[in-house]
Chain A
Amino acid sequence: MEVALAVTIGLFFTVSIYLMLSKKIVRILLGVAILGNAVNLLIFTNGRLTREVPPIIGVDHMVPENIIANPLPQALVLTAIVISFSFFAFLLVLGYRAYQELGTDDTDEMRQAEPREAPNPPQGY
């Protein structure tokens, strides 16, 4: 099971890095989204995969009766999902706004902040 998930995570990372190497903002954003999911799966797998029951303690007990699944990676993944999802939403809006304002989604053409012909500083006094 770990092997299958490890291969899946590797594929996710490959795809996301390939997409993020693109010049187009939309592709980069898709890459970022996939990267987030790759990391979530990575955390999950790092918490060890167990085919155990959910981490719920019965009404009459103070401690779990049998072995239970590790709840901590799930909590971590949940946190990471919320964060990466909200960042993705923000970046989508930012990317769209950049397309509206700058008229391009090609990062090579986005030269407003760093113009190609930046002047040299004064050479003499």
Chain B
Amino acid sequence: MAKTSHQTVDLAQAMVLAPVAAADWLVITPIIITIIGGAICLMNRKNTALQPWLGLPFLALLVVSNIFLLRHVLENGIVTMVMGRWYAPFGIAFTVDSTGALLCLTASIVALAGGVYAVADIRKTQRRYGFFPFLLLLMTGVSGAFLTGDIFNLYVWFEVLLIASFGLMILGSEKVQIDGAVKYALLNLIATTMFLIATAFVYGVFGTLNMADLAVKAATVSPSAPILTIGALYVLAFAMKAAAFPVNFWLPASYHTPNIVVSAIFAGLLTKVGVYALLRVMIMILPGVLLDLASVVGWIAALTMVLGSLGALAQSDLRRMMGYLVISGIGAMFVGVSIGTTEAVSGAILYAVHSIIVMTALYLAVGVIGRIAGDTDLRKIGGLYRFDHGFAAAFFILALAVAGLPPFSGFWPKVILVKASLETHNDWLAFAILLSGFLTTLAVGRVWLHAFWRGGIEGTPDGVLAVSGGEARQAFIVGDQRLMLAPVFALVLVVIYLGMMPEPVMSVALQGAADLLDPADYILSVFGEGAVR
């Protein structure tokens, strides 16, 4: 250290001098893996045959790392690592609780599924445009958002995932993609800017950006501080990111335009990052403000659910319909935020896990349908049951899961949310959940009925069997495109597992919800035992 000084300095007052425990490095490995993987893929961008072999191992490694991280968090409680070894709140903290670790693991599973699907789906030119580098860097942003313990750092991760998503969105440079990307990019940029505005005020009011520090200081903030404004800005920003009504219109305008695997990953991850940020900021840091805004969030939730499922009913194009189903699911998660009891929040977390898996799987399944039938317009698809019974069953399971019917993954979070609504005398929210479930059942039931069950495309007479898309189907059966089915089936297995054995994930979600509502352990993890707070 600086020996020119005549003062002696006790570094232990400012820095953590003890070496970091080996297991604690797991907090940061998801970021390291994806950045290094993204860089290596980027360097070999033009070697299109090599791309999957470079990208997939890193995605698999990410899943493994996240499994260990979740185990570590469940066994040892919340883990914190402060960058540069400075003591919090001066260094940027990465703090992982069970909510963050669970969502991070789920996100990496669907990213791997998407990566496998992309091997068969993404064309050479699009690989050269950088599908795998963008996917890995998108995962950097998503993992960072789930793991960070600093609110400005959260903003930075939002921007990382946003710029990577722009790259994925315009991969094919088609007219519709550019049209969709313009709306997606502008509105998402405005949403993150809103987030930044609120963060600027947070810094002005509290003088800190560390989430644990904020949670401490927000509890005793002076009543004249504009925290209601801050809370409202955060709700608006995260509702916009999560595509909640009335700021959801960028999603149906853009999610059907990119490659189907890109849509699948977006539908699984991006909106859920918004929901996660809402949980983290409103439930953990600003619970007092949330009490004032609970009825607003409740209305947002009910309208998002019902209008989302009505939108799904009105669409003929399967890809556009899926966009509305994503929105409908966001409403259910907002119900959990609006009620704000431990049970309700755990329902929202569980619903986020379910929605990440199911929406990605549904989009991928729609991609398979598009390949077989040569179209994704429901009027031009038919007779797919004859093509592959297993795939028809898989789609049926996904349809039941997204509608929230037992015994699949969508059932349990909805049960928890309905129960929590009734217990807190929010009967109308329970009604909205059930109504939206009913409308969603109609929408997906119609898809299965028309695409799989009837004899052929629209106008095929009764009793005639004619699978749509003759040549496209042949190409699918003989080509290596059958690889596309593997991730769909794998995700369906996860959906069945979550439906049949909800206990393990449910207990993690309950733990996460308890830590969000009572951040004492979170604060302890960041500041340590000795900190006087």
Contacts and interface: CB of A to CB of B under 8 A. Distances in A.
A114 B252 contact: yes
Q: Is the interface of B mostly helix, strand, loop or mixed?
A: helix
Contacts of A125: 449-450, 454
Nearest to A88: B189
A19 interface: no
Interface in B1-45: 2, 4-7, 9
B200 A121 contact: no
Interface string A73-93: 100100110011011001100
Interface residues of A, number: 46
A46 interface: yes
Nearest to A47: B203
Contacts of B183: 107, 110, 113
A122 B316 contact: yes
B377 interface: yes
A62 B9 contact: yes
Nearest to B7: A62
A66 interface: no
A90 to B, nearest CB: 6
B316 A120 contact: yes
B293 interface: no
A111 B379 CA distance: 21
A46 to B, nearest CB: 3
Contacts of B193: 32, 35-36, 39, 84
How many chain B residues sit at the interface, stated as a range, is 35 or more
A86 B159 CA distance: 10
A111 B182 CA distance: 12
Nearest to B195: A39
Contact of A86 (B163, B180, B252): B163
Contact of B458 (A48, A94, A122): A122
A43 B200 contact: yes
B2 A39 contact: no
Interface string B316-357: 110010000000000000000000000000000000000000
A52 interface: no
Interface in B160-189: 162-163, 166, 170, 173, 175-176, 178-183, 185-186, 189
Contacts of B315: 118, 121
Q: Which 10 A-B pairs have the closest CB atoms?
A: A46-B204, A112-B179, A121-B316, A43-B200, A113-B180, A113-B179, A112-B176, A42-B200, A46-B200, A113-B176
Interface of B: 2, 4-7, 9, 152, 156, 159, 162-163, 166, 170, 173, 175-176, 178-183, 185-186, 189-190, 193, 196-197, 200-201, 203-204, 252-254, 256-257, 313-317, 320, 377-379, 446, 449-450, 454, 458
Interface of A: 20, 25, 28, 32, 35-36, 39, 42-43, 45-48, 59-62, 72-73, 76, 79-80, 83-84, 86-87, 90-91, 94-95, 97-98, 101-102, 107, 110-114, 118-122, 125
28 contacts: A35-B190, A35-B193, A42-B197, A47-B203, A62-B2, A62-B5, A76-B152, A79-B152, A83-B159, A86-B163, A87-B189, A90-B163, A90-B166, A91-B186, A94-B178, A94-B182, A101-B175, A102-B179, A107-B182, A113-B179, A113-B257, A118-B317, A118-B320, A119-B377, A121-B313, A121-B379, A122-B379, A125-B449
